[in-house]
């Protein structure tokens, strides 16, 4: 495995770092507090090419590799995980899904707008009764010849109200179980499409998460992605890549919390010396550093597997499982290193601790990653 970064990788990583520090850091505490979507910042991220990094250049994408995407995700997530989840969903679920499985017309019509940030996308799989058990879709799309009629409710949808285009997974033939599921591109303005109330969340509060309700929404047949019955595979294949993005987000949250803890420990004095000189703190820093570096190896391995066109179901699930655990543990320890200051908003680490939790839940809980990993090691 060669994880040596190219000059281009370093340039992309540094550009993301600069952007995060200059554009996302100011106001990140307030946006979290007020649950305010980073509208202007996301617009700029689109202009700079951060929203369609891996998509084909002929549709406005950056044509970059997964390693570049992971590096940028990590840097953005160090500062603002709410902005990075918007970036992650748009890049790895929506743009990648459409670029890889959409047809020419769909890419021309939708992907060209999504890669540039002119429009934002959402990925709609979860339902009130189909979260981890994704084959149990209750949302239906009934075939009416040249169109489908979509009915049902989706839950916890990132970019729920800010998106313009939604990739919606629905059951078209219940008898066929997961082979009767399809994926559709749905436009926000279509009749019968309703956006439910915004969720009041523990973390990533700057991102907007909603339920979506579909009441007899007419979806033209040309908006189905792939062959009839491809929807579940579409969701699984797309999520496998999405998990690498979320692993990078977790790595970024861990890295951001660690950097703040290290800095604080070199400034804060107690018992006559900077607290980093006390082993109680120094050993915490050592553990955090090792865990982050181990998580980085797993995240890079998954990204390199994807770039080398090797199977990344296992490496992506391992990266997400471990990096999200590290994000949680490191951010909790970063609060501890900060003592009382860690418990107040001004020092950022309490937000990172809250943001870390979702990385163990969305795009497949840690338990789902263990299902993917254990099946892979048992069945080969």
As annotated, the active-site residues are 363
Task: Tell me how far, at minimum, the Cβ of 365 lies from ligand CAA, in Å.
Answer: 7
Measured CA to CA, the distance from residue 246 to residue 360 in angstroms comes to: 9
Q: Which of 86, 89, 98, 373 binds ligand CAA (CB under 6 A)?
A: 89
Q: Which stretch binds ligand CAA (CB under 6 A): 7-15, 62-70, 233-241, 275-283?
A: 233-241
Q: Which of 188, 233, 266, 370 binds ligand CAA (CB under 6 A)?
A: 233
Using CA atoms of 195, 200, 202, 203 in order, give the dihedral in degrees to the nearest 10. Answer: 50
Contacts with ligand CAA: how many residues (CB under 6 A)?
24
Query: Which tokens in the block code for residue 295?
Result: 């998580």
Task: Tell me how far, at minimum, the Cβ of 132 lies from ligand CAA, in Å.
Answer: 5
CA 195 to chain CA mean position, Å: 21
Q: Which of 236, 259, 289, 376 binds ligand CAA (CB under 6 A)?
A: 236
311 binds ligand CAA per the rule CB under 6 A: no
Length of the chain (residues):
380
**Which residues between 125 and 184 bind ligand CAA (CB under 6 A)?**
125-126, 132, 134-135, 157-158, 178
232 binds ligand CAA per the rule CB under 6 A: yes
Closer to ligand CAA by CB, 236 or 262: give it: 236
> Mask 351-370, x = binds ligand CAA (CB under 6 A)?
-----------xxx---x--
In DSSP notation, 330-344 reads HHHHHHHHHGGGGGS
SS3 38: coil
φ/ψ of residue 142, rounded to 5 = -95, 130
Closer to ligand CAA by CB, 81 or 285: give it: 81
Instruction: Work out the number of other CB atoms within 10 angstroms of the CB of residue 259.
Output: 14
Task: Tell me how far, at minimum, the Cβ of 259 lies from ligand CAA, in Å.
Answer: 25
Residue 130 is classified by DSSP as B
**Which residues between 3 and 42 bind ligand CAA (CB under 6 A)?**
none
Q: Which of 50, 96, 110, 123 binds ligand CAA (CB under 6 A)?
A: 123
Measured CA to CA, the distance from residue 10 to residue 14 in angstroms comes to: 6
Q: Return the ∠ at Cα 238 (arms to 54 and 99), rounded to 5°.
A: 45
Ramachandran region, residue 268 (left: φ > 0; alpha: ψ -120 to 50; beta: rest): beta
φ/ψ of residue 186, rounded to 5 = -120, 135
The site for ligand CAA (CB under 6 A) is made up of: 85, 89, 123, 125-126, 132, 134-135, 157-158, 178, 232-233, 236-237, 239-240, 313, 362-364, 368, 371-372
């Amino acid at each position: 495995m060669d994880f040596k970064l190219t000059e281009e990788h370093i340039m992309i990583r540094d550009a993301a770092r600069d952007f995060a520090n200059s554009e996302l850091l100011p106001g990140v505490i307030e946006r979290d507090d007020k649950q305010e979507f980073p509208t202007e910042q996301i617009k700029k991220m689109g202009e700079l090419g951060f929203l369609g990094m891996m998509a084909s250049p002929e549709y406005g994408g950056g044509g970059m590799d997964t390693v570049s995407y992971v590096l940028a995700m990590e840097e953005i997530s160090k500062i603002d995980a709410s902005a990075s989840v918007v970036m992650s969903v748009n890049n790895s679920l929506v743009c990648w899904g459409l670029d890889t499985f959409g047809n020419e017309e769909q890419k021309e019509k939708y992907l060209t707008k999504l890669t540039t940030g002119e429009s934002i996308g959402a990925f709609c799989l979860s339902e009130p009764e189909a979260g981890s058990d994704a084959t149990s879709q209750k949302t239906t799309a009934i075939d009416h010849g040249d169109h489908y009629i979509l009915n049902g409710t989706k839950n916890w949808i990132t970019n729920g109200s800010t998106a313009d285009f939604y990739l919606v997974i629905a059951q078209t033939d219940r008898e066929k179980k997961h082979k009767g599921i399809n994926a559709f591109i749905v436009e926000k303005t279509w009749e019968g499409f309703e956006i439910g109330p915004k969720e009041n969340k523990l973390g990533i509060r700057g991102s907007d998460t909603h339920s979506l309700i579909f009441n007899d929404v007419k979806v033209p047949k040309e908006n189905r992605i792939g062959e009839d019955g491809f929807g579940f595979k579409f969701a699984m294949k797309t999520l496998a890549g999405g998990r690498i993005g979320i692993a990078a987000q977790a790595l970024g949250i861990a890295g951001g919390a660690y950097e703040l803890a290290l800095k604080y420990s070199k400034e804060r004095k107690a018992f006559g010396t900077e607290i980093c000189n006390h082993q109680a703190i120094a050993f915490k820093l050592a553990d955090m550093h090792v865990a982050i570096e181990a998580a980085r190896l797993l995240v890079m391995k998954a990204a390199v597997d994807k770039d080398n066109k090797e199977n990344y179901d296992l490496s992506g699930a391992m990266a997400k499982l471990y990096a999200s655990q590290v994000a949680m543990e490191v951010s909790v320890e970063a609060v501890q290193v900060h003592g009382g200051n860690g418990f107040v908003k001004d020092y950022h680490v309490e937000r990172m601790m809250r943001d870390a939790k979702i990385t163990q839940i969305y795009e497949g809980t840690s338990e789902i990653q263990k299902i993917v990993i254990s099946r892979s090691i048992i069945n080969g």
